[in-house]
Structure 1
């Protein structure tokens, strides 16, 4: 596993712990299909939360990773979500929200920033 993969896993785990503490139940982590990956997909009754995790050691030109969340990335993420939903039809009636989690990596001490994208 590369340093980048370990950092990404650490950031996803940090975001996941915060969301589970808020009552969300993990359905999928790093779920893949031909259109991309869903970092985290969580559930509360009648609600799904799709979380795209971005991690950085410091705030650079891309603002902790927000600039990398391009229209093309959002389109691939939506396609991957539709693929997941096709494989899990029991969740069709759930509302869905997409959240971008900006997770500072150590040694940064900032809090995780949550940005609601749609839903």
Structure 2
């Protein structure tokens, strides 16, 4: 089954974000984990008690949402939290970990700008 161009761009953006996080010492636990509430793009672990939940957004320069923030709405966060809760229920060994939620705004080729990281409160 072939992938659409949008899916290829999304995978590329996820791989770039994951590569950067691995270089910073994060260890991947899940990629594109799906459930009824949605998908967790990336979930990573670092140290004894840190989890990082990453929502990856590939962005073209000059697109309708150049800042990339339109995809970071309250409803999206609620779905991510519900999906993460389900993931955690199936992986209780990580229940003690502190969770950080960030968005990675990844410029798509041919742009060469750095990835922009936005921490969700």
- Give SS of 2:114's match: coil
For structure 1, list consecutive stretches of 5 or more residues without a partner in the other structure: none
- Tell me how far 1:61 sits from its aligned partner: 3.7
Task: Show the 5 A alignment for 1:69-88.
Answer: 69-88=72-91
Match of 1:52 among 51, 55, 67: 55
- Tell me how far 1:63 sits from its aligned partner: 3.1
Confirm whether residue 39 of structure 1 aligns to residue 41 of structure 2: yes
TM-score normalised by the chain length of structure 1: 0.95
Partner residue in 1 for 2:111: 108
Partner residue in 1 for 2:92: 89
For structure 2, list consecutive stretches of 5 or more residues without a partner in the other structure: none
- Tell me how far 1:65 sits from its aligned partner: 2.2
The number of residues matched between the two structures is 118
TM-score normalised by the chain length of structure 2: 0.93
State the distance in 2 between where 1:85 and 1:101 align: 22
Structure 1 outlier segments of 4+, above 4 Å? none
